[in-house]
């Protein structure tokens, strides 16, 4: 039997029925609002509320982008034939913190170090030839929200023309306080590339000491501190030239790292007026030695020199240099080379009667056999000797004459501007 409309209305007027009808009405309204919000005019495909500009919104407002931004300038995305020595360079905007991550094609992270200017990053070693890498630079602003920039690049194939880099000193060597750090290249480095090479050369001394690199020639560069090395210092130097462009299609063959120790401060000073050598160790006089320097026709050089090599026994043969009338061939004990021109400290038993009184040598610093043995036992390669008051000045380049130049002169040999430590 069908229920009439009047009966339904009467049922609806009952208290319980009114409550049920009201609940049904509220559910219908809620469904209608939900449907409208989800569709937002796009056929129901969107799942979040969008503000006036179409951007996702929290609480009805737009989400602002991060304050910081980063752009990688080197190597650029997609770059090919990138040198294996490449650095990572970037610019940032409103960044309070920047991090760098470099990974190879297998996802393995590459170690490296942030430059002091905070604008570049250098891998700890040359990258693999032919490998593809991805660098990520993340800049974070004071809002704590990171901004990411990435660049994927491929390193060049191994070059056929490579420059070998070598060090005069070897790992673990103990040297004197005047010892310059000497690095040589198997091929001349053009002037336009020397600053790039020098940027990849770092020296770390403990305790810290001020110093600079100086180009002696296109194939040789040296480093010395402003003052003599501090006694017993630990010095490490690194030449990161593996894969570095060095002009005319040539590239550095490999990186080089050397760790040395500076010995006690042993300094020799010779005064031509008194014909005496004064030897100090760590600032205290430990010996005074009578000497005979070069006679007037073959004077010794005045200036600061360094012990270049030590020869317990050798033979001086000067016939080719001085001719048959002045030349001689003599066995020598306890010889320590000071110049390329042939000036040595050495024992000379034949002149012991003149030592301390008259100059009779051919330019060398003559000492007695006993003093020659003592000096030989106490000196090291790199110990300095300064000769004063002779008729001839030491010419720069005639030996390791790095200390014969003033600091201002030495700085001029750098391919980079000198920056005093803060």
DSSP string, 268-323: EEEETTTTEEEEEETTEEEEEEE-B-B-TTSPPEEEEEE--EEEEEEEEE-HHHHH
Whether 346 is catalytic is: yes
Question: Is 38 a known active-site residue?
Answer: no
Among residues 38, 214, 362, 364, which one is catalytic?
Answer: 364
Determine contact, residues 148/136, Cβ cutoff 8 Å: yes
Residue 392, beta-bridge partner list: 301
Q: Say which of 38, 214, 346, 362 is annotated catalytic.
A: 346
Place of tokens 């480093």: 223
CA distances from 131 to 108, 134, 263 (A): 12, 10, 44
Distance CA 276, CA 328 (A): 26
Query: In the structure encoding, which two tokens stand for residue 17, read together?
Result: 């029925």
Separation between Cα atoms, residue 202 and residue 122, nearest integer Å: 12
- Give CA separation, 305 vs 337, 343, 388, in Å: 10, 10, 11
C-alpha closest to that of 195 among 250, 259, 248, 241? 241
Structure tokens, 14 = 């009952």
- DSSP 3-state of 192: helix
Q: Where are the beta strands (DSSP E) in 174-255?
A: 174-175, 181-185, 201-206, 211-217, 220-225, 234-239, 251-252
For residue 75, say if its preceding peptide bond is cis, omega within 30 degrees of 0: yes
Measure the CA–CA gap between 349 and 370, rounded to whole angstroms. 9
Helix 5-12 × helix 15-39 angle, to 10°: 90
Q: Give catalytic residue positions.
A: 346, 364
């Amino acid at each position: 039997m069908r229920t009439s409309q009047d009966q339904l209305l009467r049922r609806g007027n009952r208290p319980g029925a009114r409550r049920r009808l009201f609940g049904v009405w509220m559910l219908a309204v809620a469904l209608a609002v939900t449907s409208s919000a989800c569709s937002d005019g796009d056929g129901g495909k969107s799942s979040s509320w969008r503000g006036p500009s179409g951007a996702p919104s929290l609480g009805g407002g737009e989400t602002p982008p991060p304050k910081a931004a980063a752009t990688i300038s080197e190597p650029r995305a997609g770059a090919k034939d990138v040198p294996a020595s490449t650095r990572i360079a970037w610019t940032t905007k409103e960044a309070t913190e920047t991090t760098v991550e470099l990974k190879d094609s297998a996802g393995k992270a590459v170690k490296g170090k942030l430059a002091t200017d905070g604008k570049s990053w250098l891998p700890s070693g040359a990258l693999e030839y032919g490998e593809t890498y991805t660098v990520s630079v993340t800049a974070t602003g004071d809002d704590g929200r990171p901004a990411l920039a990435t660049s994927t690049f491929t390193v060049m194939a191994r070059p056929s023309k490579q420059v070998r880099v070598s060090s005069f000193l070897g790992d673990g060597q103990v040297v004197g306080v005047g010892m310059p750090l000497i690095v040589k290249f198997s091929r001349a480095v053009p002037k336009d590339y020397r600053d790039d090479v020098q940027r990849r050369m770092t020296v770390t001394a403990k305790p810290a000491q001020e110093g600079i690199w100086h180009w002696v020639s296109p194939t040789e560069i040296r480093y010395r501190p402003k003052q003599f090395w501090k006694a017993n210092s630990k010095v490490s130097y690194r030449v990161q030239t593996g894969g570095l462009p060095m002009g005319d299609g040539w590239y550095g063959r490999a990186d080089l790292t050397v760790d040395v120790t500076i010995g006690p401060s042993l300094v020799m000073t010779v005064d031509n007026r008194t014909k005496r050598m004064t030897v100090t160790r760590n600032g205290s006089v430990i010996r005074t030695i009578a000497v005979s320097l070069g006679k007037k026709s073959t004077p010794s050089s005045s200036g600061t020199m360094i012990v270049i090599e030590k020869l317990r026994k050798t033979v001086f043969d000067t016939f080719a240099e001085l001719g048959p009338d002045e030349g001689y061939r003599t066995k020598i004990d306890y010889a320590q080379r000071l110049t390329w021109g042939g000036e040595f400290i050495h024992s000379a038993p034949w002149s012991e009667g003149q030592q301390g009184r008259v100059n009779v040598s051919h330019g060398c610093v003559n000492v007695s056999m006993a003093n020659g043995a003592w000096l030989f036992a106490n000196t090291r390669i790199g110990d300095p000797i300064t000769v004063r008051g002779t008729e001839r000045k030491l010419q720069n380049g005639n030996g390791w004459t790095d200390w014969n130049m003033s600091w201002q002169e030495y700085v001029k040999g750098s391919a980079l501007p000198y920056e005093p430590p803060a």
